[in-house]
């Protein structure tokens, strides 16, 4: 509130010209401080704190901890292995590829919109759902696609983030990060040599 100081500046002398009183104003800022605290309190109570965005990853257990009956849970027709390599290359093959003498057909792609790894994941899902619904022996109606992600030492952190994003985008519920093997590195090397002339 503004106040006006009406106190006189002293007495008047006889015969002097009467001058108007000088009035001084003083602004009281106490209500402004109260208003400031009220605004701060209002914004504190109405603001929602940002929640951390995290992704849950289930890591594979050690080989010693796996029970004998749980070892062959992943079926060959549901599995896809994704190998992350240098220069953002993504190598992938279908199946488990347990036999090094009989290598799988390894394809190479990138994280791109057309003919990228997303298209390969979509094709895997279609194939798994088609086969499991045919009622073939050994095919369970509850079988889901399983993707094994194996980053090489030459891959980049960005590739890892991108492939985990693809798991979320394509609603792949079963996937695992697995250490790359020498056999998988041989698959990459053979594929690079085969595509060198193209």
Q: How confident is the model at residue 198 (pLDDT cuts 50, 70, 90)?
A: low
Please write the tens of the pLDDT for every residue from 121-141: 998 888 888 887 776 666 676
Q: How far is CA 159 from the centre of its chain?
A: 12
Q: How confident is the model at residue 17 (pLDDT cuts 50, 70, 90)?
A: low
Q: Give the CB-side neighbour count of residue 138, counting CA atoms within 13 A.
A: 7
Distance CA 80, CA 102 (A): 16
- More confident call, 10 vs 20: 20
Distance CA 92, CA 121 (A): 10
- Whether residue 60 contacts residue 73, with contact meaning beta carbons closer than 8 Å, is answered with no
Please write the tens of the pLDDT for every residue from 65-123: 545 554 556 777 788 889 898 888 899 988 877 666 677 888 888 888 888 899 999 98
Residue ranges per structural domain of the chain: 74-195
Q: How confident is the model at residue 30 (pLDDT cuts 50, 70, 90)?
A: confident
Fold (CATH) for 74-195: Alpha-Beta Plaits (3.30.70)
- Whether residue 9 contacts residue 21, with contact meaning beta carbons closer than 8 Å, is answered with yes
């Amino acid at each position: 509130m503004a106040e006006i100081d009406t106190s006189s500046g002293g007495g008047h002398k006889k015969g002097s010209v009467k001058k108007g009183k000088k009035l001084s104003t003083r602004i009281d800022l106490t209500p402004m401080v109260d208003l400031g605290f009220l605004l701060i309190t209002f914004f504190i109570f109405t603001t929602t704190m940002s929640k951390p965005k995290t992704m849950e990853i289930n890591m594979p257990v050690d080989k010693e901890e796996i029970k004998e009956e749980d070892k062959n849970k992943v079926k060959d027709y549901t599995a896809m292995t994704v190998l992350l390599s240098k220069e953002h290359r993504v190598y992938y093959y279908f199946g488990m590829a347990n036999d090094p003498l009989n290598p799988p057909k390894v394809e190479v792609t990138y994280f791109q919109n057309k003919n990228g790894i997303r298209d390969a994941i979509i094709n895997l899902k279609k194939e798994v759902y088609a086969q499991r619904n045919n009622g073939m022996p050994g095919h369970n109606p509850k079988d889901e696609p399983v993707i094994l992600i194996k980053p090489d030492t030459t891959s980049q952190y960005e590739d890892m983030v991108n492939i985990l994003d693809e798991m979320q985008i394509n609603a792949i519920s079963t996937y695992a990060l697995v250490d790359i093997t020498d056999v998988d590195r041989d698959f990459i090397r053979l594929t690079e040599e085969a595509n060198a002339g193209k």
